[in-house]
Chain A
Amino acid sequence: MTAPALAARGVSFRYGGRAVLSDVSFALQAGEVAIVLGPNGAGKSTLLRLLSGTLRPASGDVALFGRPPADYSRREMARNLSVVGQDPPVDFPMSVEEYVALGRFPHLGLFGGASPGDREMVARALASAGLTDLAERPLSALSAGERQRAAVARAIAQDARVMLFDEPTAFLDIRHRVLFHEIVERLAEEQGVGALVASHDLSLSAEYGDRIVLLAGGLVMADGKPEEVLTPENVFAAYGVEVACDRNPATGAVRITPVRRRRIGREPNRDPK
């Protein structure tokens, strides 16, 4: 059996004496979209930083295609793994195309000359993020959703087989959230990219995730198919919120809806005065 694209084995991490992650294990396969869910402070971002080699685990180990991140040179690492953070800089002083072309950096030679192949990769990345028409625009003129797509396009141009996304849709409207997930789904299906997405959107994660990893208090509470993980019991245990889980009649995916707690004596309508 070949090594998974990205794996954590018994990974723990402390920050200032506080355990942020305890004994976390999981593996991401090529072509798979795994979504990490969990409340704020559950350790999602820390997990992504450990996996990307930004942080080193206190114990346990991380392996990218079977090798620890420390074994890779920076450029080699970037050719195998890309990371999209929450927001690209608002005031970045370049055009969309120049910004996306920065993703080619780990593939360039010493003097940084871009080949026709590099330019073609940039054009393809722009097209798959739906930004071809905006390529010449300054990045600062884009909307939040378009800017986020530009960040995704830069990661696509980087052409790594594993892609990590840290709450990429946090500030986006529903249309841009759906667009984001469809781009990632295509990358996984067509190019065999293994994608790990940290998110807060339970229903969308159930719709687009091949797998859900539910983190709470620095532990993996559940890991599996969306319908196995996203049960009312698990969601309550992780988030402390009562939810109802049913199926989306159109797609059959799990649908999670919060259950509003009714207070006695409170009318649904405002007091007419």
Chain B
Amino acid sequence: MRPLVVYPLLGAAFAGAMALSLATGSTHIPPGDVLAALSGGGADTAARVVRELRLPRALLGAMVGGALSVSGVAFQALLRNPLADPYILGVSGGAAVGALIASLFLAGAFLPLPACAFLGAAMAATVVFLLARRGGGVTRERLVLMGVVVGAFLNALIMMMVTMAPPGKIPGAIYWLMGDLGQGTLPRVFLLAPYVLIGLVALMTMSRGLDLLLLGDEAAFHAGLPVERVKTVLYLTASLLAGSVVAVSGLIGFVGLIVPHGARVLVGSAHRRLLPAALLLGAAFLTFADVAARTLSPSGELPVGAVTALVGAPFFLALLRGRRGGP
């Protein structure tokens, strides 16, 4: 499809998802009142619900979905592996450990939560990278394997920390681990925004480098790319995006895996077009998923991570089976 058609379509899908998210909730608010609340009018309960609950949640969902998707694009190019994402690489697990340490044990933390999660993500990424390194080079198979092993270890750490947490904090921590956008408040949105913005700008400036990495390290090197340096920056940037998002929304799986594939179908693999498309599609996808999470269960709310996994796992299997010769 032509980009001129695709981007407006994606923009419309995103706007539709936002509108739906703002109009959906446990109390019925007529669309007119929602619009009035957004434009600053009305001081009643309905207006406060829209401005203080629904809007931050919709914004957070969009930001988290977009960030996870472009992080997935980056990891897939970095490893030349279409099945890579922050989860498989243990990066999200590292972020969760960092965020848990900060929120459970460092009350009144000296670092903002996303920064702690980023440190955890970067540390996990570094450990995986060092373990996978052998003889000066990193093969993608080893990297994925090490990611899985480190991820399993981090999971054990997460379970231990959750059980050692103060009893009052345990349910919240577990819910957060399953992927939760209910924590969205405007201050949280503003806390996350700079990390996501920095990550996005960094990836966009590296988009040609991402294209070249698809050629393989040696060909990218001969085409003028300082491969090792670009890969390191890319790894850190993708970890920053995934890590800071985990800090506010927990572990939401499959977004970073599926959205990039969908975006590739729409605009192809050149990263200058793929990154913006994945950003919009991911934002729309997670916002929709969150609407589903809030409305599907009659007895309350599902974690949005459960919804993305319900949709994502079958999609992932179809993708696996469709690839001749396997991943």
Contacts and interface: CB of A to CB of B under 8 A. Distances in A.
B224 A106 contact: yes
B225 A74 contact: yes
Interface in A204-238: none
Interface in A53-92: 54, 73-75, 77-79, 81-83, 85, 88-89, 92
Contact of A103 (B221, B223, B269, B270): B223
A102 B269 contact: no
Contact of B212 (A52, A95, A102, A111): A102
Interface string B184-220: 0000000000000000000001011001101110110
Contacts of B215: 88-89, 92, 102
Nearest to A72: B224
Nearest 3 interchain pairs by C-beta = A78-B224, A106-B224, A93-B269
24 contacts: A54-B218, A77-B224, A78-B222, A78-B223, A78-B224, A81-B222, A82-B223, A88-B219, A89-B214, A93-B264, A93-B268, A93-B269, A94-B214, A94-B270, A98-B211, A98-B268, A98-B270, A102-B212, A102-B215, A103-B223, A105-B224, A106-B223, A112-B205, A154-B223
Interface residues of B, number: 21
Contacts of A77: 224
Contacts of B216: 89
Contacts of A106: 223-224
Nearest to B206: A112
Given A98-B270, A111-B205, A112-B272, A92 B214 contact: yes
B277 to A, nearest CB: 14
Contacts of B3: none
A85 B212 CA distance: 15
A11 to B, nearest CB: 19
A111 B219 CA distance: 21
A199 interface: no
A65 B211 CA distance: 29
Interface in A226-265: none
Contacts of A85: 218-219
Contacts of A46: none
Contacts of A3: none
A29 interface: no
A158 interface: yes
Chain A contact patch, size range: 20 to 34
A81 B224 CA distance: 9
Contacts of A81: 222
A79 B223 CA distance: 8
B226 interface: yes
Interface in B124-173: none
Interface string B244-282: 000000000000000000001000111010000000000
B207 A105 contact: no
Given A89-B215, A92-B215, A93-B268, A74 B208 contact: no
B285 to A, nearest CB: 21
A92 to B, nearest CB: 7
Contact of A74 (B207, B214, B224, B268): B224
A153 B211 CA distance: 17
Contacts of A1: none
Contacts of B205: 110-112
Given A85-B219, A108-B208, A94 B224 contact: no
A162 B218 CA distance: 17
B268 A94 contact: yes
Contacts of B224: 74-75, 77-79, 105-106, 158
Contacts of B268: 93-95, 98
B269 A105 contact: no
B229 to A, nearest CB: 9
B242 to A, nearest CB: 23
Contacts of A82: 222-223
Contacts of B214: 89, 92-94
